[in-house]
């Protein structure tokens, strides 16, 4: 659990953080890690011990510690002893080992507590909290990190959210942890980390609340201690170029880092720690410029520590040249006015009624003012850093959270000041919460429920808390606040008032015999002597006004805004934030003191913890030497004693920590004995019967209260196991039945399919035979008809031959007769003349055929032009225009274009670029006006309504089929399926690598593609890349309800996470209009140009109705059947936020299906809209996209009246 890295427990987060940084590669699944269960040594749960005393508890813990078993239960409370060495029990295999197991089923482990909180959150829906307590060096911080590691790895999801939750810890440790006498990595501030979960129980964000950074450590440290780690990372771990930029030398050369004699920590590699810090800061969108500014603030604090002063008459001046040079270096780094800062450090500004007087300070006062300025610079920067981490990880919408409280342990040093007082006050508060939850509430509930119970005495620290925080009579903090605000008060008057109020009057207050400026408070963990000098100044917690004004005049804009009122809330380099100041209880507007702020923070924390289900982890420090395998019995005995461990074991052993109301108990455990029936709605009697059936005895196993059933822990565990077995049996039966039904359905489907195939096969077989036979019959018939026709042909040929012979015979007889009558010469002459006439007729016929072949159809021919005249030009023939193929529309920046959508509303948005040096990612943010509703990105690839799907990957890895261009990212959109409340989609592209920006990206573009045809509709190209890390590409917004428009944006932005874009796209979102209400009367319509998009339909009769849409409200008129001039005559009212009313004419067909015919959009500009009996033209759907649909044109007559809300 720990490495010999001081008291830092070893945390192996490489399996979680490094996997998120690696690129995904196809690899074989690794073999599961083999886990060796813990040995059964001693009592794993100390409530089962026979020796109920601290000696028995100590012996049990020692036996387990010597066998490297550092965890032990006290019912649900975990005792963790720091082993000061690495233990191999925190890998991913151990996470899987404890995943899904109830608390107590396996050996004690911190993962078991984390799993219990997760399971309870999932089961009950309530927020959970884990309170990690113990003294400094007991391992609280590392236990907190182990819980975060388990929760991040338990969900089996790799995303940047889980990685950022883990990476926030190194950043906080660098700026908020330091080496103390008890701990090499002591948290010098308290923190409460909320791990937020969404509805799917995945981590969706986190929030860190910090309490009381120890500012005095920046100025001075005890011997053997160090300043905050970041001071040594910059002076000892930075490269020489960075040190030259920061004007730094080695740590030993500076007062703030070299006076205690402790520079190095053996287990810390400062250069490596610095590189890890820089990498983590980049992950949180803290770029190189902002990182260097933060480092300059730290370096300036180091330089100001070298300042020293001496008297020169009435004023103070620098004691030497090195002091003057140190101030010049600090002012140069922070871009301050050097002379102005020096004057503000050495003078005090006093406001009189009519004038302002500047009085010089003594050298010591000037030094104190310089130290106060350093504390102000560093603490403000630390507060901004925590807010920056929260800004990157906080989820605006979450279902529940698991909180982990890691607050400073109880401290008792040789010199205890105001910081130790507040730290011990916080521990008193936590101990009181523990007592209240474990002892007070427990026994009060037993009395209220009438349980047979013997009260257990415990040490109640409420009187000590009253001594510290009471207002009436005033406690220590109230007296300190009063003295802080009183102008003439001093430290002496403060200690005198404490003695007069509490000496010999309060059992937990004591006055030392010799010391005059000290007092003693008897805390639950022991008496602590506090030194009061400087308490009033520390409690004021503010810098002189003249010095603050000089800091805010820095030429560095980031620093000027950071130290302005409310500047710690800003999230970027050039953002401004409103001034926010806390007020004290009097309500007069005065600033709260540090003690008052801390008291209010603790009260808020306790109130929040009371709303959660708490779990406790008691961290124990085994020895003061911070070495492994050393068990200091006396040290551990004292820790167990003041923690009330013996009383805790007794109440957990004798009490009934598990309880259910009667109805819940019956419903939860009746599954074990289903034969027990409910007794007429009386759950108390039913519970009695069920407990009897379960074989439980009272009061040994349970007790039945007035409204609840109280169970022993072991009995509750046994019942849970039996319930899980019963549920498992039921689930197995259901799964068996479900598998049978699935197989049965598939069998029936296959059976029906096979029968259908058999039917078709028999049909096809018989039809094939029929077709073959028919072909043969047809062939025979053709041959038979051919033979019959041939006989007829031969008969006709023979008949014609005979007729020809008869004709020739008759002609020959006639010729011979003419020769006898006229002579042979006259007959020959007649035959020659007849042959010439026949030849002439044949020639004329041939000429006609030739003219027809040349195109002469007998029209009149044009006359030839006269000499000198040009021939008239022949008219050119009109060529048919070829239909051009669909072409893409090129858009310009800021241009808006209507998007035609096909029937199913599916389009694809493609995003691409050249130059894949860095990983790129696309995000889709969904809004309703300016309200963020949903987002779609690489790790969350689908919107809640399923209408937006991110199916792209890393840049250049996806090539879209049948498209010439190569899109790096694609987002599929179904605009008809998208949630009605979503009216705007913003598309963003980010450079997802910390080192990258758009300077390496060229030809970035976005385009709209028809999902069905893969044709590009429109495209626009962005300007060449710059230094930004994100581009707001385009905006897709509703125009009316069923129409969408695309607007090209192409604006640069900053940030690598989709969450960063939510506030930055706000200028491109529409302001939510005021709520309006309209009464719409649809009179009648005239439908013309009826066309069916599919063939074979002859009817034009339509069953029509009108659908009225305004924002997300809609109403429908009655259906008018079989009419092209429908008389709807319906009046409807619609309400919403918008300025366009949409009326759609629909056609209802069989089975309740509806077909879109046309629409009209009516702008509603101005107030009190009144439109009476006006005709509006219908706009058709895009016919080329409307497959198998009806399209119409026509008009609709409407009356629109705006109503008062």
- β-partners of residue 1143 are 1108, 1160
**Is 1184 tagged catalytic?**
no
Contact 1015, 1137 (CB under 8 A): no
Distance, CA of 1090 to CA of 1100 (rounded, Å)? 6
pLDDT tens-digit series, residues 730-771: 999 999 999 999 999 999 999 999 999 999 999 999 999 999
Lowest mean pLDDT among 407-411, 870-874, 898-902, 1177-1181: 870-874
Q: Which band of pLDDT confidence, cut at 50, 70 and 90, is reported for residue 1090? A: low
pLDDT at 14 over 70: no
What is the predicted pLDDT for the residue at 214?
A: 85
3-state secondary structure of 129: strand
Confidence at residue 185, expressed as pLDDT on a 0 to 100 scale: 84
C-alpha angle with apex 113: 111 to 119, nearest 5 degrees? 100
pLDDT (tens digit, 9 = 90+) per residue, 533-549? 888 888 887 778 888 88
d(CA 968, CA 545): 55
pLDDT tens figures, 822-842: 888 888 888 888 888 888 888
Q: Are 206 and 231 in contact (CB under 8 A)?
A: no
What residues pair up with 679 in beta bridges, in sequence order? 682
Query: What is the rounded average pLDDT of the residues 867-885?
Result: 46
Q: Which two tokens stand for residue 134?
A: 């113990």
pLDDT of 117: 92
Tell whether the model's pLDDT for residue 955 goes beyond 60: no
Name the helix (H) or strand (E) containing 1119: none
- List pLDDT tens digits, range 737-746: 999 999 999 9
Q: What is the spatial distance between Cα 321 and Cα 1075, in angstroms, rounded to a whole number?
A: 70
Residue 42 known to be catalytic: no
Q: Among 2, 133, 186, 568, which one carries the catalytic annotation?
A: 186
**Residue of 136, 235, 308, 390 marked catalytic:** 136
| pLDDT value at 186 more than 80 | yes
Q: How far is CA 226 from CA 217, 278, 382, 415, 531, in A?
A: 8, 21, 18, 16, 22
Is 400 a known active-site residue?
no
Contact 1164, 1078 (CB under 8 A): yes
Calpha distance 907→245 (Å, rounded): 53
pLDDT of res. 958: 41
Does residue 22 surpass a pLDDT of 60?
A: no
pLDDT-above-70 percentage for the chain: 88
Q: Cα–Cα distance between 970 and 951 in angstroms, integer?
A: 6
Average pLDDT of the chain is: 83
Q: Exposed (0-12), middle (13-18) or buried (19+): which is 759, by Cβ within 10 Å?
A: exposed
1026 catalytic? Reply is: no
- What is the mean predicted confidence (pLDDT) over 112-121? 92
Please indicate whether residue 137 is annotated as part of the active site: yes
Residues 140-145 have a mean pLDDT of: 88
* Selected residue with higher pLDDT from 323 and 648: 323
pLDDT at 26: 41
Residue of 137, 176, 305, 644 marked catalytic: 137
What is the DSSP code (8-state) at residue 338? H
In this predicted structure, the answer to whether residue 331 has a pLDDT above a threshold of 90 is yes
What b/e string do you get for 858-871 counting C-beta neighbours within 10 Å, with b at 16 or more? eeeeeeeeeeeeee
Annotated catalytic residue: which of 76, 107, 187, 484?
A: 187
Catalytic pick among 115, 236, 411, 469: 411
Answer yes or no: are the C-beta atoms of 254 and 301 closer than 8 Å: no
Q: Give backbone dihedrals phi and psi of 1200, rounded to 5 degrees, phi first.
A: -125, 130
Would you call 183 a catalytic residue per the annotation?
Answer: yes
Distance of CA 417 to the CA centre of its chain: 43
Active-site position among 237, 409, 644, 1085:
409
pLDDT of residue 961: 41
617-621, 912-916, 990-994: range with highest mean pLDDT: 617-621
pLDDT score of 855: 56
Predicted local confidence at residue 878, as pLDDT: 47
User: Any catalytic annotation for residue 956?
Assistant: no
Dihedral over alpha carbons 926, 930, 932, 938 (to 10 degrees): 40
Q: What is the pLDDT of residue 137?
A: 81
Q: How confident is the model at residue 32 (pLDDT cuts 50, 70, 90)?
A: low
pLDDT score recorded for residue 856: 56
Query: How much is the pTM?
Result: 0.59
Q: Is 823 an annotated catalytic residue?
A: no
Q: What is the pLDDT of residue 570?
A: 60
Segment 458-478, tens digit of pLDDT: 778 889 989 999 888 899 999
Consecutive H or E run containing 261: none
Catalytic residue among 183, 206, 974, 1190: 183
Does the pLDDT of residue 848 top 80, yes or no? no
Structure-token pair, residue 547: 């010095």
Binning pLDDT at 50, 70 and 90, where does residue 876 land? low
């Amino acid at each position: 659990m720990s490495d010999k890295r001081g008291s830092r427990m070893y945390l192996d987060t490489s399996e979680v953080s490094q996997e998120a940084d690696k690129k995904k590669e196809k690899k074989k699944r690794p073999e599961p890690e083999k886990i060796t269960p813990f040995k059964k040594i001693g009592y794993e749960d100390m409530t089962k011990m026979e020796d109920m005393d601290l000696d028995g508890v100590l012996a049990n813990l020692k036996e387990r510690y010597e066998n490297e078993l550092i965890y032990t239960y006290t019912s649900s409370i975990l005792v963790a002893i720091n082993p000061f060495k690495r233990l191999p029990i925190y890998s991913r295999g151990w996470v899987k080992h404890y995943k899904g197991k109830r608390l107590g089923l396996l050996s004690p482990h911190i993962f078991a507590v984390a799993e219990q909180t997760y399971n309870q959150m999932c089961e009950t829906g309530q927020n959970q909290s884990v309170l990690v307590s113990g003294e400094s060096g007991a391992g609280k911080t590392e236990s907190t990190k182990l819980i975060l590691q388990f929760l991040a790895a338990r969900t089996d999801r790799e995303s940047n959210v889980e990685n950022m939750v883990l990476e926030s810890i190194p950043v906080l440790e660098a700026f908020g942890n330091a080496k103390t006498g008890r701990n090499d990595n002591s948290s010098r501030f308290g923190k409460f980390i909320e791990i937020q979960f969404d509805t799917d129980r995945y981590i969706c964000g986190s929030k860190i609340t910090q309490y009381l950074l120890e500012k005095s450590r920046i100025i001075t440290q005890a011997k053997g201690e160090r300043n905050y780690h970041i001071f040594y990372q910059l002076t000892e771990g930075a490269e020489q170029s960075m040190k030259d930029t920061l004007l730094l030398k080695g740590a030993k050369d500076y007062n703030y880092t070299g006076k205690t004699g402790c520079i190095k920590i053996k287990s810390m590699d400062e250069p490596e720690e610095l590189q890890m810090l820089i990498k983590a800061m980049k992950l949180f969108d803290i770029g190189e410029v902002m990182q260097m500014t933060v480092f300059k603030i730290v370096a300036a604090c180091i330089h100001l520590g070298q300042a020293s002063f001496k008297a020169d008459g009435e004023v103070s001046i620098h004691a030497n040249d090195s002091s003057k040079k140190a101030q010049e270096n600090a002012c140069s780094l922070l871009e301050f006015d050097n002379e102005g800062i020096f004057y503000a450090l050495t003078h005090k500004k006093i406001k009189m009624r009519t004038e302002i007087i500047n009085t010089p300070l003594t050298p010591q006062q000037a030094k104190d003012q310089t130290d106060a300025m350093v504390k102000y610079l560093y603490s403000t920067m630390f507060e901004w850093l925590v807010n920056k981490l929260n800004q990157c990880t906080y989820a605006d919408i979450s279902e529940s959270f698991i909180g982990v409280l890691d607050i400073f342990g109880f401290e008792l040093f040789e010199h205890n000041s105001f910081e130790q007082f507040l730290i011990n006050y916080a521990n008193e508060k936590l101990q009181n919460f523990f007592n209240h939850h474990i002892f007070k509430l427990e026994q009060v509930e037993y009395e209220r429920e009438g349980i047979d119970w013997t009260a257990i005495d415990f040490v109640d620290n409420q009187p000590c808390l009253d001594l510290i925080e009471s207002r009436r009579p005033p406690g220590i903090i109230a007296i300190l606040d009063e003295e802080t605000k009183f102008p003439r008060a001093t430290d002496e008057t403060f200690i005198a008032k404490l003695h007069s109020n509490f000496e010999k009057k309060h059992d937990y207050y004591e006055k030392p015999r010799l010391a005059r400026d000290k007092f003693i408070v008897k805390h639950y963990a022991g008496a602590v002597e506090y030194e009061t000098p400087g308490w009033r100044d520390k409690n004021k917690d503010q810098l002189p006004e003249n010095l603050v004004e000089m800091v805010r005049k820095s030429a560095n804009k980031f620093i000027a805004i950071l130290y302005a009122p409310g500047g710690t809330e800003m999230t970027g380099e050039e953002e401004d934030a409103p001034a926010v100041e806390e007020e004290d209880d009097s309500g007069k507007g005065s600033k709260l003191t540090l003690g008052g702020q801390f008291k209010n923070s603790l009260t808020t924390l306790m109130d929040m913890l009371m709303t959660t289900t708490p779990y406790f982890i008691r961290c124990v420090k085994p020895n003061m030497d911070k070495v492994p395998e050393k068990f200091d019995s006396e040290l551990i005995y004292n820790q167990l004693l003041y923690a009330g461990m013996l009383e805790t074991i007794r109440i957990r052993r004798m009490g009934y920590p598990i309880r259910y109301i009667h109805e819940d108990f019956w419903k939860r455990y009746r599954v074990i004995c289903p034969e027990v029936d409910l007794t007429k709605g009386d759950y108390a009697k039913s519970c009695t019967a069920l407990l009897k059936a379960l074989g439980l005895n009272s009061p040994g196993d349970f007790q039945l209260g007035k409204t609840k059933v109280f169970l022993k822990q072991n009995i509750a565990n046994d019942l849970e196991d039996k319930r899980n077995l019963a549920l498992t049996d039921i689930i197995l039966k259901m799964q068996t039945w479900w598998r049978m039904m699935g197989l049965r359905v598939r069998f029936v489907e296959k059976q029906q399919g096979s029968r259908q195939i058999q039917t078709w096969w028999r049909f096809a077989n018989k039809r094939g035979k029929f077709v073959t036979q028919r072909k043969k019959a047809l062939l025979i018939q053709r041959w038979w008809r051919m033979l019959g026709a041939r006989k007829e042909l031969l008969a006709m040929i023979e008949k014609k031959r005979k007729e020809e012979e008869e004709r020739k015979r008759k002609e020959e007889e006639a010729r011979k007769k003419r020769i006898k009558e006229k002579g042979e010469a006259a007959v020959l002459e007649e035959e020659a003349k007849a042959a010439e006439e026949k030849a002439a007729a044949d020639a004329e016929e041939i000429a006609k055929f030739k003219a027809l072949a040349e195109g002469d159809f007998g029209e009149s021919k044009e006359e030839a032009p006269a000499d000198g005249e040009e021939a008239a030009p022949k008219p050119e023939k009109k060529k048919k225009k070829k239909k051009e193929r669909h072409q893409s529309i090129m858009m310009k920046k800021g241009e808006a274009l209507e998007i035609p959508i096909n029937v199913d509303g599916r389009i694809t948005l493609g995003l691409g670029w050249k130059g894949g040096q860095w990983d790129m990612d696309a995000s889709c943010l969904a809004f309703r006006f300016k309200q963020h509703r949903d987002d779609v990105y690489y790790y969350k690839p689908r919107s809640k309504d399923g209408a937006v799907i991110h199916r792209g990957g890393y840049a250049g890895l996806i090539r879209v089929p049948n498209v010439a261009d190569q899109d790096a990212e694609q987002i599929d959109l179904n605009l008809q399926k998208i949630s009605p409340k979503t009216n705007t989609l913003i598309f963003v592209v980010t450079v997802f690598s910390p080192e990258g920006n758009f300077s390496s990206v060229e030809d970035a573009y976005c385009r709209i593609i028809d999902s069905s045809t893969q044709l590009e509709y429109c495209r626009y190209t962005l300007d060449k890349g710059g230094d930004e890390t994100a581009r707001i590409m385009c905006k897709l917004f509703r125009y009316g309800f069923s129409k969408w428009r695309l607007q090209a944006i192409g604006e640069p932005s900053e940030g690598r996470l989709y969450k960063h874009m939510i506030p930055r796209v706000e200028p491109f979102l529409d302001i939510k209009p005021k709520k309006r209400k309209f009464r719409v009367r649809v009179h009648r319509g005239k439908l013309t140009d009826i066309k069916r998009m599919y063939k074979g339909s002859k009817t034009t009769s339509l069953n029509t109705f009108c659908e009225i849409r305004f924002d997300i409200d809609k109403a429908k008129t009655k259906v008018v059947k079989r009419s092209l001039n429908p008389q709807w005559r319906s009046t409807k009212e619609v309400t919403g936020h918008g300025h366009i009313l949409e009326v759609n004419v629909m056609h209802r067909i069989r089975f309740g299906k509806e077909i879109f015919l046309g629409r009209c959009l009516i702008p509603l500009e101005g107030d009190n809209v009144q439109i009476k009996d006006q005709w509006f033209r219908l706009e058709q759907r895009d016919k080329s996209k409307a497959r198998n649909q009806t399209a119409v044109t026509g008009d609709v007559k409407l009356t629109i009246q705006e109503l008062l809300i």
